[in-house]
Amino acid sequence: MARKPKRDLTVDEQLARGPMDLPFLMLVLLLLGIGLIMMFSASYATAYYNDGDPLIYITRQAMFAGVGVAAMYVVSKINYQTFRWMAPIALVGSIFLLILIYTPLGVEHGGARRWLRLGIEFQPSEFAKISVILFFAARLCKRDTEKHKRYKNRSFFGRFYNLLDRIGFIELLPYMVILGIVAGLVVFQTHLSGALLILAGGASVLFAAGIHLGWFAAGGVVVLLMGLVVIALNPYMLARIQLWQGTWEDLAYQTRQALIAMGSGGLLGRGLGNSMQKMLYIPEPENDFVFPIVVEELGFLGGLLVLTLFALLILRGYWLALHARDKFGALTVVGIITLFAVQVFLNIGVVTNLIPNTGISLPFFSYGGTALMIQLAEMGMVLSISRQIRAPKND
């Protein structure tokens, strides 16, 4: 029986089969491996005393990590041009999920209503972050080829519209509306840090697309003023600011214990697994405050190594953005890597008391299955874009 001739691969399929960027992949896997080890060490005592099973957190996290790595590989094999037409669907879907939080499906923890229970419990803001980046990248990659609508200058409306168009306001308006809706929904969930991450991801794509710097200065002032108003009207956020501004005795208990943990680690640390502060001194050390346990056990040098790996991953990501095949790929990588970098900065800033406690997790280290899977899927998007770096440029 004659064999059927093999189907020739399309150009898109050939491009998607290019080699992924190994340095970026190895940095992701290295940080993930260290993160799992340190999360296990940080959660051991809490899991034992609260649940009777010291392996409960690491078992779940390792399972989600395995699924996340598989998802990263699958996403890396997808031609990233697919993400362009998916972007509007993802944005609408994420806004719908954010609205569902205000229904009985929403779940509240620690005074903050940020979670949604649909079979599993997750934060819709994690989906909103990447959907905003993809939508902005998909729209702005065509910025240089779009024709601007013009009106005749004989009428006041025409002159006013053309003025707004010249200064870039008309172009920015839909992006400002989207950021206002998404970030506003997240702020009202008492999740200011999540809103800041969404704004940072969106702003980074706008900046990379060539939006005038003056708009970022104006937007920064507006965001700062609105943030101050939200904090002043929200007792939960205001209490955190007041604790941060206080003396050592006034500091939040969790922050004070985190500083003690990092200070007691010294240069080389107490040794892996030998943290004292994880013995129910720091509340939930497996979550936002996992980095102090890293420093306590591995010392200043161990903490510096982890931060260096994060820095190398971020720099490699921006290198991939500079060498991306087209503008959509470049903008997508810039947004994802900036989102990642800002999240790392906010977490380290909180645990070192540089900034007030914002309730932000450390990527690859903090406990949280859905967040970890989404982060790894985002890394898969970057790897998908890296597969086509050697292809001819297509702007």
Q: Domains of the chain: which residue ranges?
A: 34-141+148-386
Tokens of 244: 């941060």
Tokens of 385: 């874009």
Sequence-separated (6 or more) residues with CB below 8 Å from residue 190: 111, 112, 113, 114, 234, 236, 237
User: Which residues are bridge partners to 115 per DSSP?
Assistant: 107
Beta strand spans in the chain (E): 106-109, 112-118, 120-122
Distance in Å from the first CA to the final CA of the chain: 47
Sequence-separated (6 or more) residues with CB below 8 Å from residue 78: 16, 384
Determine the residue type at 90.
A
Rounded to whole angstroms, the Cα distance separating 253 from 350 reads 13
CA distances from 196 to 144, 325, 395 (A): 28, 29, 30
Tokens of 215: 């708009």
| Residue whose C-alpha is closest to residue 65's, from 307, 347, 375, 317 | 375
Three-state DSSP state, 256: helix
* pLDDT at site 5: 53
Rounded to whole angstroms, the Cα distance separating 48 from 275 reads 15
Sequence-separated (6 or more) residues with CB below 8 Å from residue 314: 337, 340, 341, 344
| pLDDT tens across the length of the chain (395 residues) | 455 555 544 555 556 667 889 999 999 999 999 999 999 999 988 888 888 888 899 999 999 999 999 999 999 999 999 999 999 999 999 999 999 888 888 877 766 677 788 777 788 888 999 999 999 999 988 876 666 666 566 665 666 666 666 666 677 888 899 998 998 888 887 777 888 899 999 999 999 988 888 877 887 787 778 777 766 666 666 666 766 666 666 567 788 888 899 999 889 989 998 899 888 888 888 888 999 999 999 999 999 999 999 999 999 999 999 999 899 999 999 999 999 999 999 999 988 888 887 778 899 999 988 889 999 999 999 999 999 886 656 65
